[in-house]
Structure 1
Amino acid sequence: MDHRKALADIDDIRNQLAASTTFRGFGPAALTATGGLALLMTLLQATMLAPMAADPIAFFSSWIAVAVVATALIGAEMLVRSRRHHSGLADAMILQAVQQFLPSGAAGAAIAAILLRFAPDAVWMLPGLWQILVGIGIFSAAHSLPKAANLGAAWYFIAGCVVLMLASQSHALSPWAMGIPFAVGQLLMAAVIFLAGGDNDAD
């Protein structure tokens, strides 16, 4: 029993240290790459894949694929950087980061599934809603990120509101309204992380 209590106390101490430590798992390299991916998909959908704007399933499937690749890039870099910068606290720090962003991610997936299945006439709201949810996710993790990360959160939140207002006029899906806010947001977050001391590597 004493052994189990000691292990539990160690876990509590580790979690408290993780909660009070700035998370250095996010790196500028992956964030910059994901911003580039968003910009690339915007250009593709605006030119070669222009008919996708008339097909919500194809339009959002492309962006979901981009999100999956972006998550994989950020996750891979996060694992490497966390092990290097946080050593014994790496697992606790990674778990904390995932827990902070998971509610917003789950909400975005649920809203997309509901609108696409039951309210296809309202899917024009998805780009703005997703951007707002990303902003909320960053705000939720603000205490473990550099203070300037709030600029990125504010960008996503304001951009989402503006996209919703503009899209409400035509209810049309626009690759520009989807991609530009995400490209700018990811590049802004990359700059914040880099200036806060995130070494610019792609390990």
Structure 2
Amino acid sequence: MRDLDKALADIFAIRSQIAAGTAFRGYGPAAIAATGALALLTTLVQFWWLDDPTGHPLVFFAGWAAAAVVSGALIWIEMQARSHRHHSGLADAMILQAVEQFLPAGAAGVLLAAMLWKFAPETLWMLPGLWQLLVSLGIFASVRSLPRTVAFAGAWYFVAGFATLLLSSQSHALSPWAMGLPFVFGQLLMAAILHVASGEDDVED
């Protein structure tokens, strides 16, 4: 029984090593572009119907949390389908690797929002810019298994995050545009990069 456990552990380790050295093709341009469209829709809805985002932070962030959940579901569904199509037996290991790469940034975003809401609500104006910075870090953490050019999307979110913090520091106000436009452009840029890379030799196999 001990030999069987060791053999299974060795197989798992080998599969993990192979997955770590294989380009991940689970992220699809269609789902990523759809999340950009959803960000634009959320921005417009809040601009038209939320008169005072700063005075109603719960409504403001609840809208973006809902958009994030839907976006995550879209990406997850397409990731499952594409991974099993492109990676076959390695699909589960590849998906696990992709989740592990982005999970720290995602968890930090959730915990940061909860902490600011609970202990420093007057600093919630910083959250949009901080979220953009965390997305940037998540993308950079995933670069080794994605097309190298996704670093441009990471760089965009990095610059946009600091720009959003700088602009918001003048008024300490929440703005649908400051939250939404960086994500709209960033997700569409990411989708374009993945679309081009899927037809070019931009991914190291």
Normalising by structure 2, we get a TM-score of 0.94
1:110-133, CA deviations, whole angstroms, 9 ceiling, x for partnerless residues?
110111111111000000000000
Residue 53 (structure 2) aligns with: 52
Matched residue type, 2:73: A
Matched residues, number: 198
Residue 127 (structure 1) aligns with: 128
Percent of aligned positions that are identical: 62
Alignment of 1:10-159 (within 5 A): 10-159=11-160
Q: CA deviation at 1:8?
A: 1.5
Off by >6 Å, runs of 4+ in structure 1:
none
1:61-102, CA deviations, whole angstroms, 9 ceiling, x for partnerless residues?
000000000000000000000000000000000001111111
RMSD of Structure 2 on Structure 1 (CA): 1.0
User: 1: distance between equivalents of 2:118 and 2:57?
Assistant: 11
What SS does the aligned partner of 2:49 have? coil
Q: CA deviation at 1:47?
A: 1.3
User: 2: distance between equivalents of 1:50 and 1:63?
Assistant: 16
What SS does the aligned partner of 1:23 have? coil
Matched residue type, 2:149: A
1:43-73, CA deviations, whole angstroms, 9 ceiling, x for partnerless residues?
1111123333421111000000000000000
User: 1: distance between equivalents of 2:109 and 2:59?
Assistant: 17
User: 1: distance between equivalents of 2:3 and 2:57?
Assistant: 58
User: 1: distance between equivalents of 2:162 and 2:114?
Assistant: 21
Residue 203 (structure 2) aligns with: none
CA contact (8 A) 2:126 2:165 kept: yes
User: 1: distance between equivalents of 2:160 and 2:94?
Assistant: 29
What SS does the aligned partner of 1:51 have? coil
User: 2: distance between equivalents of 1:188 and 1:163?
Assistant: 18
User: 2: distance between equivalents of 1:68 and 1:168?
Assistant: 28
Residue 164 (structure 2) aligns with: 163
Normalising by structure 1, we get a TM-score of 0.95
5+ unaligned residues in a row in structure 1: which ranges? 199-203
